[in-house]
Structure 1
Amino acid sequence: MARVYVNPKQQVMDQPHRVVALAKYRETQEAGTEFGRLMLSGGVTPAQHEAGIRYAELAAQYRSALLCPSPNPAAMDLGRVGKGKGAGMADETALVLQTRYDRAYESCGPQRLQVALREFVIMDNPVSNALSLDLLTCGLDKLVSHFGIDKSMQITDRPK
């Protein structure tokens, strides 16, 4: 028999992937992803997390401009792969997105850092060892500088 929750927040906090986060952060949006939980556990700073989120959003916009499928979709439409810019997207808009993404990608540094960002930020895979975490944080530091994010950013409680 399914459990009935009176408190929806408790239901969110009891989800298996959120249990690993500190109790005070379990209902936050960040606790819903591997990358967010890495920030909540202190593996990356809030500024690095923000840079990673901006990079992932930019990568998603770039994929959309090229009509590429999402790397982690609910359902993939393989019929749209490689058909050029997005439906109805102006060439200038697609070019601006490509330029913004290329600059962010190139600011990440060597290929090892770019691969780490793809694996742990875009694909949202768990970080399994110290070397991977070091590569990820180094790449995120470069993105913090690229996006001009304040390095002293802190986790703040969001209004409920």
Structure 2
Amino acid sequence: MTTTQDTQDFAAYVASLPRVLAGAAALFRDGEGRVLLVEPNYREGWALPGGTIESDDGESPREAARRETAEEIGLDRPLGRLLTVDWVTGPGRPPLVAYLYDGGVLGEDELGAIQLQESELLSWRLVSREELTEYLWDSLGRRVLTALDVLAEGAGTAELEDGHRVR
């Protein structure tokens, strides 16, 4: 039998644990292999459709990536396999675990149906592999390039630390 004291002790223990952020995104491409990027209005630079995992609601990384994609660009479709898991560190914030799923190849009709979440996004564009590092900050750029490599390899998931593949 669990007592009130046991519950309070466990809650205090959990509150004492280190914090880690978690996010999930989807990697969408067009028929030419270009990557779909979105431009947030709340910070500089470009990103992939995705966002924070709502762990308090019991949301899984895959569910978060699908929900965020539906919210941000209006596309609600099943996601493919997990391509990368990245442990991202940086000054002034807790570490981030970033999950990246295969969103698949979008046809012209799906690209034409994109509806941006105006409260968060300014625009979207398709970017070639060669141009990615011009649009994405360092670790995200490395993560996306590695995810494209994983797709080309045909199987597996890459473990990353700050966008660098762990071997």
Instruction: Give TM-score, length-normalised by structure 1.
Output: 0.30
Instruction: Looking at secondary structure, tell me which structure has more helix per residue.
Output: 1
Instruction: Looking at secondary structure, tell me which structure has more strand per residue.
Output: 2
Instruction: Give TM-score, length-normalised by structure 2.
Output: 0.29
